[in-house]
Amino acid sequence: MRIVKIIVLVLLVAFVGIQFIPTTRNQSDSVPSTDFMLVNDVPETIQKKLQVSCYDCHSNNTQYPWYNKIQPAAWFLEDHIKEGKDELNFNEWDSLSSRRKASKLRSIVKQIESGEMPLDSYTLIHTDAKFSEAEAEEMINFITQLKDNL
C-alpha cells in the first residue's frame, strides 16, 4: 500500500506543478480586413455555423471553455488550435491567392462531407458545432458556389 500512496502523491504534485506552466492564449480583439466574412457575402446562417463550428480552431480568436484553465487540457487545446490555424485561418482568408482559396474551399467541402471537421473531440463538448444533414448541405452548397465564382 505504501508504494501506491507514494505514486498518488507524486502524481498529485506533478498535476499541481504543471498548472503553473504558462500557455499562450489565442485571443484577439480585432477582426482583420482579410476575414472570410468581411470579404465574402456570407449569409447569416452560414456565418453563425462557421463561427460556432470552426472559428475556435481556425481563427485568431478562440472562445475558451472553462477547462482551458486546467492542464493538461490547455495543452491539448493549444495544440489543436496551432495545427488548425496552420492549415486554415479564416481571419487571413483574403491573403491567400485564388488558387490557394480554391484548394482550401475544396478541402472544406471534403472535411464536412466526410464528417472529419469539426473534430470529434470538439463536438463531444460543443454539441452545437455538429452539422445536421440540412446544415451540411447548405454549407457545402455555399462553399461550392463560392469556389465556382472565384
The contact set with ligand HEC (CB under 6 A) reads 53-54, 56-58, 80, 83-84, 87-88, 107-108, 111-112, 117-119, 122
Q: How far is the CB of 27 from ligand HEC (least distance, A)?
A: 15
Task: Give the nearer residue to ligand HEC in terms of CB position, either 31 or 119.
Answer: 119
Report the alpha-carbon distance of residue 35 to residue 39 in Å, rounded: 6
Q: How far is the CB of 111 from ligand HEC (least distance, A)?
A: 5
Q: How far is the CB of 50 from ligand HEC (least distance, A)?
A: 7
Q: How far is the CB of 22 from ligand HEC (least distance, A)?
A: 21
Check if the beta carbon of residue 55 is closer than 8 Å to that of residue 61: yes
Hey, what's the cell of 144?
461550392
Q: How far is the CB of 103 from ligand HEC (least distance, A)?
A: 8
Contacts of residue 3, Cβ cutoff 8 Å, sequence gap at least 6: none
Exposure pattern of 49-58 as b/e (b: 16+ CB <10 Å)?
bbbebbbbbb
Q: Residue 91: which of 81, 106, 80 has the closest Cα? A: 81
Task: Give the nearer residue to ligand HEC in terms of CB position, either 74 or 112.
Answer: 112
Task: Give the nearer residue to ligand HEC in terms of CB position, either 17 or 115.
Answer: 115
Tell me how far CA of residue 67 lies from CA of 38, 70, 79, 115, 118, in angstroms: 31, 5, 15, 25, 19
Task: Give the nearer residue to ligand HEC in terms of CB position, either 87 or 137.
Answer: 87
Task: Give the nearer residue to ligand HEC in terms of CB position, either 35 or 56.
Answer: 56
